[in-house]
Structure 1
């Protein structure tokens, strides 16, 4: 993933299940490149980026690809909110369900500037990045779009609002991969450093005054695929604790630990002293996006989860039966 941050890619996600295929998510890079605020584009079709000098042939290529659920890449003239034109290298790829139908469309936008080196190397990095993010985002989006989830969600937009946190998690994994690529003596990602950043990011955005968070992560190296899954499990579990563990309480305590297992592998423990999970609640639940996502991540790791309820608080323990130095699954 060398070059991830340098490319400054705008990410757009649209929902073809809704009339006119509206935008449901854009990242910060989209706002910087286009000048449009996230709040002003959610729910709109991407055509507002077109203008009087946008070529109809480029628009037709995009429309045809989307109608047929196919990937497309085109250099198209778009317009910022200020009215200034810019050349946009746009790549759109569908996120497909099990039957091969588009659930979402993932769009990458890269502004092409005359002063930038548009080398074959950068194009290769872009292609690798698209493939990687397409696969990793698909893991999340397929769970959001699962029919059982859609039928049970009372507030479906809540899960779309959680997308920035999940994408932040993916980006932090990529940044750690980029660091590992620069260090020749490293075979994989430093999981402790990664999880520390994940925990800090979730805590910054979702915690509140009075909640103390203590973390202790042993240093170990894992491959990219395992690191991504473990990071997402931590993100989902910690976010759930902040959302539900301290309802009606003025203060609380969260303890995070990751330790090596003697027989190989690792154990992640998240405990809190909050109100505890009610006895009638089965967590993680397949009726929620977070629960289904955690189940999918655990399955991909061949991991197990145990949830203990106490008089005060909850303890979540995840065992991942992979040896820390088994890096056979290291990603690109």
Structure 2
């Protein structure tokens, strides 16, 4: 009954005689004949190597041979050839069979893995083609990105240069204008344009024109402002975290910091009064908070300035950034707190 079950099995099976010279085939079932295309009399008495061909892996053959020589079971996947010469992949498990005298036979159950291998090859070819297409597309996108980045750098560079020229022209005009409101207005506008120029210069020099580092700008701005102050009387200090914000926010934030600092220096310390201005910027849960504080005379005591529009400009910029602003007497001095949402990840 067992032999009949093996004979009817849909799995190709073969038995070889381990005691006979060259381990010849002694029995095959119909599924094995169907797989190989050989007749029974063409297989009996011959070694299974007859199924091998030019594409058979010699290393895998050697591994199987070593296991058989040692009388050990082995599992392998081998490229064999049918009688008509067509190749097929055979997954096999070779098991030694013992009797009272020792090793007697080898029993091998096989499975045709040709379609599986063909699918693997097809998938590998498809994957290789997809990888090639992705690599080509990535190369094209990288080239386009580099081109656009270079263009952005060039635009920022030209804007920075033009702003510097405009600022210099306004400063030159201010120096030739008699003292008064007109001269102060020209001076103030030149300084505002200078702050915008600094922001663009930093965008250009960072190598990433999509983001703007507020901490770096504050450090550069602080250096420029303090260079023109009498340190024994007035000084500007800053504690600004290195917050990276979208490049679109560079100009508004630069203008905010400049305007609030300049207003404090201009109005908080009349009659050469000594004082200090502090700038802080910290990340918050919803974005960032920018504060400008001075220890000057305070809002109520500051001299009126009918021609000034600094506060209006600050509030307009805050609205543009969708933020909120609060002005308060700090006792002494003035305290301005601005909360700005940061929608893009940084």
Q: Structure 2-normalised TM-score?
A: 0.47
* Higher share of residues assigned helix: 2
Q: Structure 1-normalised TM-score?
A: 0.49
Which structure is larger by alpha-carbon Rg, 1 or 2?
2
